[in-house]
Structure 1
Amino acid sequence: MSGDRRKEIVRHLSEDDLDRLLTESTDEKLTERLIFIKRLYKGATLEDAADDVGRSSATGTRWARRWNKGGLGLLMPNFGGGRPPKLGPAQRERLLDLLREGQPWKKQEIQHLINEEFDVEFHPAHLTTFLEKLGLSYAIPRTKRPSRPENAEEILDERVSDVFDEGSDEPHNKRDGDDEEGWVVDEEIRTDGGTVLGFLDTSHPQPWDNSQRLYTVDDPHITRPLVKLDEPAVGFYALSGESVLQFPTTQEKERICECLEGIREQNPLARILLVLDNFSSHVCEYTRKRAHQLGIDLVFLPVGSPDLNPIEQVWKSLKWEASPLIVENAAEYRALLTELFEKLTAQLSFAASWIDNHLGSYLQKLR
């Protein structure tokens, strides 16, 4: 009958034997399993029999399978003295292999996997603790872009190495096919005062962004003025030197070059190494040439690799801190963003792993 999950159960024992064992049992685990089997003997569905003893249908399915295979001996494992571990070392290693093959997972999917592979059921609260001890990460997975090369980090390492190579007379930003004219550093630009390394990126924070959870007694609403920031925010997160936040009217190449001029103005005496993405107004010859004239060497990230730009974490923190604050107009919001950006970019922690993974011995060359 459709939807009827009555289980064909092997009668290893008679009903009288089941009743006798129930009468004699002083073990809670044994008693609930015997009651479950007796209910199946009487024609109950798996769900109903499991529910009668306070167990899930998944547990009922597992118990019925064990009973059919080996009777009471397999249904009631001999735990010996003390509480047994849920999964032994070998089973944990096997579980990690399975999780690695099928990741990412939802918690309920992991519970089902453990049930199916090891005939073990965790309480939901304990499962969370178990997975933490197992070393699993619980986070929103980053979307991997199809255009991202498999060796993205190696490509970045090579580009960082190239920009620190001072043996070439060729302008670093120049590419094959570029016009030969104009690749000269402006006369007033000085680059002999050390090296500044920083990260550039564009974001579009808005006053209505809600990124932070807050406690409220009544409905969780915030009444905000209708304020909108039309222009993008272009940030420069400097590991050494001065960080800068600017608000150009557009992301066109001319406006991006004005942002580069602003970065140079705040860092007047040093060579500037600028890590950035492959946005069209960044990679075009116009921008690359102007950057060279300003004494700024560009280090382009591999395609589809925004996670390799530490300023992404700065933007995330900035939006989180700004989200519950109320402003009256766009000018006030820009001032708020500038204040938060200055505070956040004073911390090197956003770039700690980038420094360890990609800067290495070049760190001593930064002023």
Structure 2
Amino acid sequence: MVRPEGIFIERHMTVEELDKQIKLEKNATLLKRLYFIKYRYGELSVEESIQRIGSSKQTGYTWQERWNQDGYDGLKPRYSGGRRSKLADKQKEQLKIMLTKRDDWTTEAARELIFKEFDVKYSLKQVRVILHNFGMKLAKPYSHDYRRPDDAEEQLKKKSRRWMMTQ
């Protein structure tokens, strides 16, 4: 015989509303949590409900506590944002200004600039993330032939015209 659940589940929405929300939910993490609440509405204990989801018992108690306090919004994932950036916001603004003065930066050159100006070391991958966040696009550098004359297009047109006349 199962012992009755000691923690009450708040009914912030009806079973029908909960089923509708489950059908509409696109976030897999939130969907899993909504199924847990549905099992709790169905008179299953926290332990039985969380076993069906495949998470730990403590996680179930945390989800239920958040549901009881805030309802649906309490189940939404709360991301802390990760590690703080090595560059302050003001430094990032300065970097963006420096980078926009030229349009032919390589990732390696941008990394060297960051180290030279701010004494901060980043991996190439993180430099690409920073550049992407600035709205800069990564592109393969266009190679330039050092032997090419400055008026190459004009010379080509002249030679093309002469060739066309001889034909």
TM-score by length of 2: 0.45
**Greater Rg by CA:** 1
- Greater strand content: 1
Compare the two structures and name the one with the higher helix fraction. 2
Q: Which has the higher contact order (CA 8 A, sep 6+)?
A: 1
